[in-house]
Amino acid sequence: MRTPEEIKTRVEELLSRMTLEEKIGQMVQSAGTDTTAIGGDVKTSPLEGLIAEGKIGSIIYMPDSAAMARHLQRIAVEKSRLGIPLIFCQDVIHGFQTIFPIPLAWSCSFDPDLVQRATEVSAKEATRAGIMLAFAPMLDIARDPRWGRISEGAGEDPYLDSRMARAEVLGYQGGEGGQGLGDGEHMAACLKHFVGYGAAEAGRDYNTVEISPSTLHNVYLPAFQAGVDAGAASVMPSFNLVDGVSSAASPYVLQELLRKELGFEGVIVSDYAAVFEVIAHGLAADEREAAERCANAGLDIEMATDLFNRELPKLVMEGKVPESLIDDAVRRILTLKFRLGIMDDPYLYMHEGEEEKTYLAPEHLAVARRLAQESAVLLKNDGALPLRKGAKIALVGPCADSRDQLGPWQFSKRAERTVTLKEGLEEKGFAVLCEPATTIHEELVGGINRAVKLAQDCDVVVLAVGEDMTMSGEASCRQEICVPAIQMELARAVAAVGKPVVAVVTCGRPLLLDWFDKNANAVLCAWFAGTEAGHALSDLLSGEANPSGKLSVTFPRSMGQIPLYYNHMNTGRPWNGVSDEKFVSRYLDGPNTPLYPFGHGLSYSAFRLTEAALSSGEMARDGALTVSAKVKNVSDVPGTAVLQMYLRDVAARIARPVKELKGFARVDLAPGEEKTVELPITPDLLRFHDGREWVLEPGRFVVMLGFSSADDQLEKLEFSLA
Ligand code: GLC
């Protein structure tokens, strides 16, 4: 690995030899085989010709094989004048060939260390195929489950999102500051989408975003700061407007926020065709103006379109885009290439012989299985779970024996290795009578009747329902986040038989589960659990694994409540949820409370919190406190409690949320075991942005401890900041 000084010297030397066109070529990223973008299909000449002409600096790499990567890299190295190698990128969001639970699911594990391990495995697999930059982690806070990309992030809380951001960057990049970059087994991370993408109005993808400066800083920026502090090598601006300008063309977003406030010094790569879309936004009259605005805003790489190659040379010659800006962008790109090690060994990531033996390696599958166990959330259980050994199970529903468990945003070519719920349960020795009865949207001929008959002959019904992979993810928003109608018809029919019903829900977002909460004996949110779905879910249903997942996102009761999130403001007329006051913040036709709140999740164990205490009632501005409590497993089942700490700033210069997650700990406990847990309270947890600056204000703070964000499950303490 070269030192920063060596890299700087070599970058300057190379830059001095580059023509303006060659510099700009480094700023263009081809979309691989996407024939609508530049370069066309990799099998045709345009892309290879552009590479040979030095007009491509990086590629989103779809046909992911080391051999193909080597083929294209050889063209760049041997045919272009300066032989500058390409960066190969891909959306390695939650696994490459071994697929982990979707990020919304793994955030429910509240286990950053395990998530870090999963991203490290992802990097190990992806770097076998020549891929050296992951367009991940996606850090968009999402408060609206209509938005399909809620599946791709860490839910609604900035603190949890920040912990996951750090874990994923360290996992992809091999430790702090990207210390693993260049070792051939780790890859550059890319924080996305900067910023506010998840606030799309009406939960409709790519829609307008309106966020106040204080909310932008207190809710949407923290995870990006955590990712930058962890050393993320790149950032991807979001498609949406921020204060009227799309991020890729916004000096405020790229210079003020990202470079100056967050201190980011790496590469900024646009989202797909976002430079070209500046025109559609109404921010440029033509491609020339779009290229000019994005280059002058400080965008380093244009993804998938080619306005930079076509327009920037003239814009620089005319003085409309300073060449110094181009030089700075290329310095950052070349620095990344040196850090990745490809300037010394362009084929460092091409491991033709290692691909098959690395993908889905047993130790990788073990991580996937454990993370899927920890990511599932037991929402309800009246004792129907765990399933009794030897129980005869009627396993019904479209997700019962489905391999559609990988989620909407993965490119595994080994989906056939996905373990279904049926396979998992059968491996455990259960007598399983399986009847899908419906597809996701339609009944199979006679399916519901067959399912009812099975239910009559069995001890328990496991109802496997939910979404397929097309119903969440990018450009996959829903106006009604319900379990599809035909599946509800199936659910009602089998429930009417009168046997215990355990619902297992496969989904990429919160769904409306009110009927299940009322009529099923148990409800397990499986999310899209990944390659090891069937193993992990049957581990949980059988009791071999004990659920510990906690919701990272709120489940509303009705569409009318959306957006609904736990860290909301109190308003001037808060409703206590019971009084019949009229002039308070409430509805005429329903409650304010969610069906399942942030932080909710049941276990087969029972945990008790006692002796909550603060190390002091006063905190100096440069001091720190510790909150401690005893957590006891008062059941005969070993399990893991997730202790959550929330804070509330009671009175401040701007209104602050009724509670905000500011710490958590996973606590493994044997039956009867009790542990004392301590969590730090430091000034950085109390700071907030008032729309103009970060402030730390004296005053009274409430500390809340518990195993859910629900008010009635929290122990409350108070302290004052001097
Ligand atoms: C997509 C997504 C972005 C992804 C990129 C490349 O449109 O918005 O998250 O990384 O294009 O696939």
- What pLDDT sits at residue 27? 98
The residue assigned the tokens 């063209």 is 75
Catalytic pick from 271, 300, 306, 649?
Answer: 271
Q: Mind listing the pLDDT tens digit for each residue in 462-487?
A: 999 999 999 999 999 999 999 999 99
Residue nearest to atom 7 of ligand 1 (CA): 272
Q: Mind listing the pLDDT tens digit for each residue in 259-282?
A: 999 999 999 999 999 999 999 999
- What pLDDT sits at residue 65? 87
The residue assigned the tokens 């020549």 is 130
Residue nearest to atom 12 of ligand 1 (CA): 91
- What pLDDT sits at residue 549? 98
Please give the distance, rounded to the nearest whole angstrom, from the Cα atom of residue 97 to the centre of ligand 1.
18
Best residue for ligand 1 mutational test, from 91, 93, 302 (most atoms within 8 Å of Cβ): 91
pLDDT at 373 > cutoff 50 = yes
Sequence-ordered list of residues with C-beta below 8 angstroms from that of 545, at least 6 positions apart, any chain: 373, 536, 539
pLDDT at 37 > cutoff 50 = no
Q: Mind listing the pLDDT tens digit for each residue in 661-715?
A: 999 999 999 999 999 999 999 999 999 999 999 999 999 999 999 999 999 999 9
CA distances from 346 to 10, 76, 84, 338, 411 (A): 16, 9, 9, 10, 24
Please give the distance, rounded to the nearest whole angstrom, from the Cα atom of residue 605 to the centre of ligand 1.
41
- What pLDDT sits at residue 43? 44
Q: Which two tokens stand for residue 455?
A: 């239910």
Of the candidates 714, 664, 705, 695, the residue with the CA atom closest to the CA atom of residue 154: 664
Atom of ligand 1 nearest to the CA of 190: 10
- What pLDDT sits at residue 474? 97
Of the candidates 123, 155, 97, 590, the residue with the CA atom closest to the CA atom of residue 357: 97
For range 202-231, the mean pLDDT: 98
For range 527-546, the mean pLDDT: 98
Please give the distance, rounded to the nearest whole angstrom, from the Cα atom of residue 272 to the centre of ligand 1.
6
Residue nearest to atom 8 of ligand 1 (CA): 271
- Is residue 326 helix, strand or coil? helix
pLDDT at 63 > cutoff 90 = no
* Residue 166 near residue 229, CB atoms below 8 Å: yes
* Residue 472 near residue 507, CB atoms below 8 Å: yes
Lowest mean pLDDT among 57-61, 73-77, 431-435, 504-508: 57-61
For range 343-360, the mean pLDDT: 96
| Average pLDDT, rounded, for the chain | 96
Torsion of CA 81, 85, 89, 95, to 10 degrees: 160
Please give the distance, rounded to the nearest whole angstrom, from the Cα atom of residue 474 to the centre of ligand 1.
8
pLDDT band at 1 (very low <50, low <70, confident <90, very high): confident
Of the candidates 537, 493, 534, the residue with the CA atom closest to the CA atom of residue 515: 493
pLDDT band at 131 (very low <50, low <70, confident <90, very high): very high
pLDDT at 450 > cutoff 80 = yes
Tell me 569's DSSP state. Answer: -
For range 591-610, the mean pLDDT: 98
- What pLDDT sits at residue 31? 87
pLDDT at 34 > cutoff 70 = no
* Residue 191 near residue 253, CB atoms below 8 Å: no
Of the candidates 487, 402, 516, 495, the residue with the CA atom closest to the CA atom of residue 452: 495
Q: Which two tokens stand for residue 181?
A: 């970059």
Q: Mind listing the pLDDT tens digit for each residue in 418-447?
A: 999 999 999 999 999 999 999 999 999 999
- What pLDDT sits at residue 40? 42
Atom of ligand 1 nearest to the CA of 138: 9
**pTM > 0.95:** yes
Residue nearest to atom 10 of ligand 1 (CA): 135
- Is residue 666 helix, strand or coil? strand
Please give the distance, rounded to the nearest whole angstrom, from the Cα atom of residue 271 to the centre of ligand 1.
6
pLDDT at 36 > cutoff 80 = no
The whole-angstrom distance between residue 635's C-alpha and the CA centroid of its chain comes to: 34
Q: Which two tokens stand for residue 142?
A: 């999402």
For residue 623, how many other CB atoms are within 10 A of its CB?
Answer: 14
For residue 321, how many other CB atoms are within 10 A of its CB?
Answer: 23
Q: Which domains does the chain have, with CATH numbers?
A: 4-339 (3.20.20.300), 376-561 (3.40.50.1700), 607-721 (2.60.40.10)
- What pLDDT sits at residue 226? 98
Best residue for ligand 1 mutational test, from 238, 269, 271, 411 (most atoms within 8 Å of Cβ): 271
271 part of the active site: yes
Residue nearest to atom 3 of ligand 1 (CA): 271
Tell me 418's DSSP state. Answer: P
Of the candidates 333, 330, 270, 342, the residue with the CA atom closest to the CA atom of residue 306: 270
Residue nearest to atom 6 of ligand 1 (CA): 272
pLDDT at 179 > cutoff 80 = yes
User: What is the spatial distance between Cα 186 and Cα 189, in angstroms, rounded to a whole number?
Assistant: 9
Best residue for ligand 1 mutational test, from 302, 474, 477 (most atoms within 8 Å of Cβ): 474
Q: Mind listing the pLDDT tens digit for each residue in 82-109?
A: 999 999 999 999 999 999 999 999 999 9
Please give the distance, rounded to the nearest whole angstrom, from the Cα atom of residue 248 to the centre of ligand 1.
13
Using only C-alpha atoms, the chain has a radius of gyration, in whole angstroms, of 26
Q: Mind listing the pLDDT tens digit for each residue in 623-639?
A: 999 999 999 999 999 99
- What pLDDT sits at residue 62? 64
Share of the chain above pLDDT 70, in %: 98
Atom of ligand 1 nearest to the CA of 152: 9
* Residue 554 near residue 596, CB atoms below 8 Å: yes
Best residue for ligand 1 mutational test, from 93, 236, 272, 477 (most atoms within 8 Å of Cβ): 272
Name which residue leads in pLDDT, 68 or 154.
154
pLDDT at 499 > cutoff 60 = yes
Share of the chain above pLDDT 90, in %: 96
Atom of ligand 1 nearest to the CA of 136: 10
* Residue 525 near residue 379, CB atoms below 8 Å: yes
pLDDT at 550 > cutoff 70 = yes
Of the candidates 460, 356, 461, 384, the residue with the CA atom closest to the CA atom of residue 97: 356
- Protein residues whose CB sits closer than 6 Å to any atom of ligand 1: 60, 91, 135, 192, 271-272, 474
User: What is the spatial distance between Cα 205 and Cα 197, in angstroms, rounded to a whole number?
Assistant: 8
pLDDT at 359 > cutoff 80 = yes
User: What angle separates helix 4-17 from helix 323-340, to the nearest 10 degrees?
Assistant: 130
pLDDT at 380 > cutoff 80 = yes
